[in-house]
Amino acid sequence: MSTIIGGGGGIQSDYVLEISNLYFTGHIEPQTWLKQITGTTRTGLILRDVSLEVGSSNIMAILGSKGSGKKALLDIIACRANNGSKKGYVLLNGVNMNRRLFHSTCSYITGQTDKFLMPGLTVHQTLHHEACLTLKVPSSMRKIRVRQILSDVALTQLAGSTVDMLTPSEKRRLAIGLHLIKDPVVLLCDEPAWGLDPLNTYFIISILSNYTKKYGRIVILTMEKPRSDIFPFLDRVTYLCLGDVVYSGNTRQMLDYFRNIGFPCPEIENALIYYLCLATVDRRSHEKFIESSNQIGLLVDKFKLEGNSFLRLKGGGGSLDDQMSSTRGMGTSVTPLHAFGRPSVFGKMATLMMRNYSNTFLFSMQGLHNVFFQLFFLPFLFFLMWIFYFGKNDETQAIFVTYNGLVLNILCITYFAAVWSTLLTFGPFRKMYYQEARNGIYSGPLFITAHTISSAPYDVITCLIGSRIVFELTGLSSTSDWLLLFLVLLACYTMAKQQTFASMLTLKNKFYAVAFLSAGHALQITLGSCTVRSMRGLPDWQYYLSYITQPRYASSYLQEQIFLEYKDVNLRSVVGSRGNCFSSSFSPGCRYLNGTHYLYDRYYTHSVDRDDVNTYLNFGICWAFPAVVFLFSLVVYALPLPTLVKQKFRD
């Protein structure tokens, strides 16, 4: 790496990205679950002997029709081409490109990245949080960097606007700014202007070109239909056809090269499109297909023989002016900010937590939505339940059925509310996670840990309010009973949230997720809560299976606390008798003498090998479940997922 001292006294560096004799074999048809399991997906040669060079302050366009290998080439540079075999070299300043090097010095953006922005944050907040996640510099320098990027992508006037208020072009510029904030020396852009009108396409390309010249960086972009007005911004161009290089070199020299080999571009034609058509197979008829394929084959062979001088950043192949144009900006690259290092794990965790809070407390409908489901959804459902149960605590035999149903509803509502509140608020964070983790910004376990810690205050508040509503229906009286009830509900709520986090790693559709999770919780409640069927009535295999369900312990604890309030009370019959039920009474409706009798009838108590009613054990195991599920979530988010699963959450 050559270094010089800039005018301001700072150290500056040149960068060269070189691809040499690159071959890549990969899948040539879409994958399905069946084909992935059976290994029958067809493979073929996607890139053939691809070579190119691009240096500092240069923007290179990779042009070609669909299926030419443009995206595969970017994926290989970014070390994302996992399903295939590669032969050849990708070098950055002579160093072999690997995933760690790419994540630390480069970045990759697609035309769909703007769909993964956090909707409730402002433009400034979005860039600020990204700077905190990627730059280990003083806060004053981060603020300056954010202002620079706002200016570079022309969003300074919209710094206070929320993401959901931006136009498609503004969102695209913000998405580009997110990748520029960490100052990558190489920025890969797959269709950066996809879906935009010509004016905004010109604007996007001009922003990228200005960035390369201002900071001495490298931009490589792909396009299917380049317009003539972006020609001046492209320093270098590479044409691909079915994985072969038709031309790679300086954009100005391209006109001379094709003119010299007998394919001059008419003056009124868009040179980029003209030579793109020349490098595209004509499939309108069999004869045209054969003719165009043969012509492209000749062009590929011609460039291999005569194109080496055009391929290189320096050397022959054109006039002195053309050669200087090919290498303009060399020696003016400012030292990148990644040279200062990356934030620590705790710094990233703090940033993720602050971003979570920023996205929750918003002065907008999105903010009200987040606050309601994070804090008030569970209390709201408990309030609706309170309306139906209020005034039902009489002292007849019906109290057993009433409180049994109350425990059942408490468990169902707690699990249901946790699942729905998570599904309706976790989605934007999950989308950001898939993009940022793919870019190597942070890991899955760090993400889930930060989200768990940041959501803990919400869980405590919502369960505290909800437990107070439920407490008024249980017949319990002391403050300690209320706090213990709150802790049991919090354990159930937390476990359900952790299960939802884990399931949302693979389930994209929230309705599929809620159906899957609700069915699982319903099965656990039916099997283990002793509200649908008594423990004594379960077959042995179901009884022992219930040990792995949290409702077994939560319900046992709740029922013990509630029904032991009636341990010394002889309740009246449900048929209207004024007399109490005694052990010597066989009056109709006198099934249970008191709460203790009810517990003995439903649970195994003080048995040699079975003791279901154990206050401290049930309470402790109830809290062991969220801890175990949290550890399971960490493992799940740390494991590499199949490509088909990850692809659902990407563009």
Cα separation, 287 vs 528, whole angstroms? 72
What percent of the chain stands above pLDDT 70? 85
pLDDT tens-place string over residues 551-562: 999 999 998 888
Alpha helices in 251-397 (DSSP H): 251-260, 271-278, 286-306, 308-311, 320-326, 345-360, 365-371, 377-389
Q: If you average pLDDT over residues 95-105, what whole number do you get? A: 91
* Residue length of the chain: 651
pLDDT of residue 468: 94
Alpha helices in 159-285 (DSSP H): 168-180, 198-215, 251-260, 271-278
Residues 226 and 275: beta-carbon distance below 8 Å: no
**CB-facing half-sphere around the CA of 455: CA atoms within 13 A:** 24
Q: How sure is the predictor about 457, in pLDDT bands with cuts at 50, 70 and 90?
A: very high
Q: Which residues of 201-221 are buried (b: 16+ CB within 10 A; e: fewer)?
A: bbbbbebbbebbbebbbbbbb
The yes-or-no verdict on residue 91 having pLDDT over 60 is: yes
Query: Could you tell me which residue, 283 or 299, shows the higher pLDDT?
Result: 299
Contacts of residue 285, Cβ cutoff 8 Å, sequence gap at least 6: none
pLDDT of residue 5: 28
Q: How sure is the predictor about 33, in pLDDT bands with cuts at 50, 70 and 90?
A: low
pLDDT tens-place string over residues 225-242: 888 889 999 999 999 988
* Consecutive H or E run containing 108: strand 106-110
Helix (H, G, I), strand (E, B) or coil at 298: helix
pLDDT of residue 611: 73
Q: Name the residue among 409, 436, 414, 395 with its Cα closest to residue 491.
A: 414
pLDDT of residue 368: 86
Q: Judging by DSSP bridges, how do beta strands 218-223 and 58-63 pair with one another? A: parallel
pLDDT of residue 107: 93
The yes-or-no verdict on residue 568 having pLDDT over 50 is: no
The yes-or-no verdict on residue 35 having pLDDT over 80 is: no
pLDDT of residue 265: 87
Cα separation, 13 vs 155, whole angstroms? 29
Helix (H, G, I), strand (E, B) or coil at 280: coil
Q: How sure is the predictor about 167, in pLDDT bands with cuts at 50, 70 and 90?
A: very high
What percent of the chain stands above pLDDT 90? 44
pLDDT of residue 116: 82
pLDDT tens-place string over residues 489-511: 999 999 999 999 999 888 888 88
pLDDT of residue 7: 34
Q: If you average pLDDT over residues 619-648, what whole number do you get? A: 85
pLDDT of residue 337: 84
pLDDT of residue 533: 86
Residue 187 β-bridge partners: 107, 219
Q: If you average pLDDT over residues 12-36, what whole number do you get? A: 76
Average pLDDT of the chain is 84
Q: If you average pLDDT over residues 212-225, what whole number do you get? A: 91
Q: If you average pLDDT over residues 168-186, what whole number do you get? A: 93
The yes-or-no verdict on residue 375 having pLDDT over 50 is: yes
Cα separation, 68 vs 517, whole angstroms? 43
The yes-or-no verdict on residue 361 having pLDDT over 60 is: yes
Comparing 68-72, 460-464, 571-575, which segment has the lowest mean pLDDT? 571-575
Residues 160 and 146: beta-carbon distance below 8 Å: no
Query: Could you tell me which residue, 597 or 281, shows the higher pLDDT?
Result: 281
Contacts of residue 587, Cβ cutoff 8 Å, sequence gap at least 6: 573, 575, 577, 579, 581
Cα separation, 271 vs 257, whole angstroms? 12
pLDDT of residue 393: 60
The yes-or-no verdict on residue 452 having pLDDT over 90 is: yes
The yes-or-no verdict on residue 124 having pLDDT over 80 is: yes
The yes-or-no verdict on residue 451 having pLDDT over 90 is: yes
Query: Could you tell me which residue, 364 or 31, shows the higher pLDDT?
Result: 364
The yes-or-no verdict on residue 269 having pLDDT over 80 is: yes
The yes-or-no verdict on residue 482 having pLDDT over 90 is: yes
pTM for this predicted structure:
0.84
The yes-or-no verdict on residue 318 having pLDDT over 70 is: no
Comparing 47-61, 83-97, 395-409, 604-618, which segment has the lowest mean pLDDT? 604-618
Q: How sure is the predictor about 325, in pLDDT bands with cuts at 50, 70 and 90?
A: very low
The yes-or-no verdict on residue 563 having pLDDT over 90 is: no
Q: If you average pLDDT over residues 420-448, what whole number do you get? A: 90
Residues 400 and 406: beta-carbon distance below 8 Å: no
Q: Judging by DSSP bridges, how do beta strands 84-92 and 16-27 pair with one another? A: antiparallel
Q: Which tokens hold the place of 527?
A: 């099997």
Comparing 231-235, 405-409, 428-432, 597-601, which segment has the lowest mean pLDDT? 597-601
Q: Give helix 550-563 / helix 479-503 axis angle, nearest 10°.
A: 160
How is 498-552 classified by DSSP, letter by letter? HHHHHHTTT---HHHHHHHHHHHHHHHHHHHSSSSS-GGGS-HHHHHHGGG-HHH
Query: Could you tell me which residue, 74 or 9, shows the higher pLDDT?
Result: 74
The yes-or-no verdict on residue 651 having pLDDT over 70 is: no
Q: Which tokens hold the place of 470?
A: 């439920």
pLDDT of residue 278: 86
